[in-house]
Amino acid sequence: MISMVSLAIRYLFSRKRQSLFTLLGIFLGAGGFVVISGFFLGFRFFFIDNLVNNSAHIFIQARQEFLEPHSLDESFFKNETKHVFWKSIPAGEKDYHRIESPQGWYERLDSDPKIEAYSPQLVVPALFSKGGSPIAAGFTGCLPEKQARVNTVAANMVEGKFSDIGGGGNRIIVGQELLKRLGAKIFENVMVTVGVGKQTPFQIVGTFDSGNKRSDLQAYGPLADVQRANHTLNLINEIDVRLFDYEQSSTKATTWSALSSETIESWDQRNSSIFTMFALQAMMRNIIVFVIMLVAGFGIYNVLMMTVSQKMKDIAILQAMGYESWEIRLLFLFQGFLLGVVGALLGLIAGFFICQYLQTLPFGGRPGATRPPGHLTIELTMGIYLQASLLSMMSALIASYLPARAAAKFTPIEIIRGGAV
């Protein structure tokens, strides 16, 4: 067996240019896989990391209920008539949606050891104005000490502290985007319209920058003040929950959904469309790599087929000397395998260094943002390198199998018989 291995190496060295070109194919395939996978997976992890760290893991929201054509029959006519026909059929959202039994939820969440923190909220659409045109934005009433534990708003503060809204007194924290659109400054008052349309003055005591323009178009205020402004005292319509292990979010959300009437979504269920995009991205990555490997495989196949046709006499003499078919097969399979191993190894090394360089490139941030841009996230896990090695070697072995089989199929006499009868 060793003699076949050393002979295979001699064969490869005897046609250096062909071997180098074939090696280049595998090298590009393996290196390309590492870089493309590192980039795509890095982006995916960056995105998930942002989602998981910046926001809560589970969102418990009041179920939106809608009026049915006969849902008001009893309220208006009790038992006076059997059949009610409406000129204008009742439709639309039923009442103001709320978490029906917040206390029940608090007890459940307090007793669950997997829950790190939760924050009851009243989230309402609001119009903010400071003299000019009103700006529509989200307004979240919360308990600041609880809210700070479920998302990163407290950590993203640019001016002031998130706990500054804890004392009540109509104080709010606004996102940088909202502040910019309002043309307001810290400690200035703005008018906020929620619920029935009455304006309430709130003082801006801090600003935050999450790095996401959309997230920064909102404001946080004390829960009681927002409830009062909205004329919905003691009402909450959302509980944001953070788990110790975010990977259990969807399981937990599904379990709670089955037990309650609220709408419950985990962070990944809420962003399912993005995960579909990631799946497409993964498919694209696989297609690109498959094409590269296919081309590299064809390179190996062609080179080895050519070698087989050039080495027919060698095959004949080896068999005449007692070498068996499996050894002839090994002679050619090993050439492909060796090209695969060396090509993959070089590709992995090159891929690693390219990934290291890509990691230094600035990424993120936006013009005018207070947060400095980060760097490109590149995934460098062992799994990628293992996959790249396996793919390269598999491609090389598959591509060399057919030439190896063809070589082993000949009998010495078939080769020699050319002119000998």
Partner 1 sequence: MSIVAKDVGKKIGDPPTQILTSINFEIPDGQFLSLTGHSGSGKSTLLYLLSGLDCVSSGSVIVDQVDLSRMKKKEVAHFRNEKIGFVFQFNYLIAELSVLENVLLPAKKYGQEKNRLELAKSILEKVGLIEKLNRLPRQLSGGEEQRVAIARSLVMGPKYLFADEPTGSLDTGNGEIVMKMLKEVHEQKGTTVILVTHEPDYARRAQRQVSLADGRIISDSGPSLELSLPV
Do the Cβ atoms of 173 and 162 come closer than 8 Å? yes
Asked if residue 16 binds partner 1 (CB under 8 A), the reply is no
CB of 310 to partner 1, least distance (A): 10
Asked if residue 10 binds partner 1 (CB under 8 A), the reply is yes
CB of 413 to partner 1, least distance (A): 4
CB of 295 to partner 1, least distance (A): 28
Closest by CA to 142, choosing from 248, 87, 221, is: 221
Asked if residue 17 binds partner 1 (CB under 8 A), the reply is no
User: Contacting partner 1 (CB under 8 A), which of 323, 332, 334, 385?
Assistant: 323
Q: Which residue number, 30 or 408, has a Cβ lying nearer to partner 1?
A: 408
Q: Which residue number, 99 or 408, has a Cβ lying nearer to partner 1?
A: 408
Asked if residue 306 binds partner 1 (CB under 8 A), the reply is no
CB of 15 to partner 1, least distance (A): 10
CB of 40 to partner 1, least distance (A): 43
CB of 419 to partner 1, least distance (A): 8
Which letter, b or e, does each residue of 38-50 get, where b requires 16 or more Cβ atoms within 10 Å of its Cβ? bbbbbbbebbbeb
CB of 402 to partner 1, least distance (A): 21
Do the Cβ atoms of 193 and 163 come closer than 8 Å? no
Q: In whole angstroms, give the CA distance from residue 70 to residue 84.
A: 8
Q: Which residue number, 109 or 318, has a Cβ lying nearer to partner 1?
A: 318
Q: Is 177 left (phi over 0), alpha (psi -120 to 50) or beta?
A: alpha
Q: Which residue number, 71 or 309, has a Cβ lying nearer to partner 1?
A: 309
User: Contacting partner 1 (CB under 8 A), which of 191, 288, 294, 317?
Assistant: 317
Do the Cβ atoms of 411 and 311 come closer than 8 Å? no
User: Contacting partner 1 (CB under 8 A), which of 3, 261, 309, 381?
Assistant: 3
CA pseudo-torsion sign 344, 350, 356, 359: negative
Question: What is the token pair recorded at 230?
Answer: 């909205």
Asked if residue 259 binds partner 1 (CB under 8 A), the reply is no
User: CA angle 142-186-151, nearest 5°?
Assistant: 30
Per CB under 8 A, which region of 123-131, 221-229, 252-260, 313-321 contacts partner 1? 313-321
- Terminal alpha carbon distance of the chain: 33
User: Contacting partner 1 (CB under 8 A), which of 52, 174, 318, 355?
Assistant: 318
Question: Site for partner 1 (CB under 8 A): how many residues?
Answer: 27
Question: What is the token pair recorded at 297?
Answer: 């495989």
Local structure of residue 65 (DSSP, 8 states) = -
Do the Cβ atoms of 147 and 153 come closer than 8 Å? yes
Per CB under 8 A, which region of 2-10, 107-115, 122-130, 337-345 contacts partner 1? 2-10
Q: In whole angstroms, give the CA distance from residue 366 to residue 62.
A: 34
How is the chain split among helix, strand and coil, in percent rounded to 5? 55, 15, 30
Asked if residue 334 binds partner 1 (CB under 8 A), the reply is no
Closest by CA to 68, choosing from 37, 91, 38, is: 91
| Three-class SS state of 121 | strand
CB of 2 to partner 1, least distance (A): 8
Site map 386..415 versus partner 1, x via CB under 8 A: -------------------------xxx--
Which residue, chain included where needed, has tokens 């008001």?
72
Q: Which residue number, 2 or 259, has a Cβ lying nearer to partner 1?
A: 2
Question: What is the token pair recorded at 197?
Answer: 């349309």
Per CB under 8 A, which region of 157-165, 189-197, 316-324, 376-384 contacts partner 1? 316-324
| Three-class SS state of 22 | helix
Do the Cβ atoms of 63 and 263 come closer than 8 Å? yes
User: Contacting partner 1 (CB under 8 A), which of 325, 349, 401, 410?
Assistant: 325
Asked if residue 71 binds partner 1 (CB under 8 A), the reply is no
List residues binding partner 1 (CB under 8 A): 2-3, 7, 10-11, 13-14, 313-314, 316-325, 327, 411-413, 416-417, 420-421
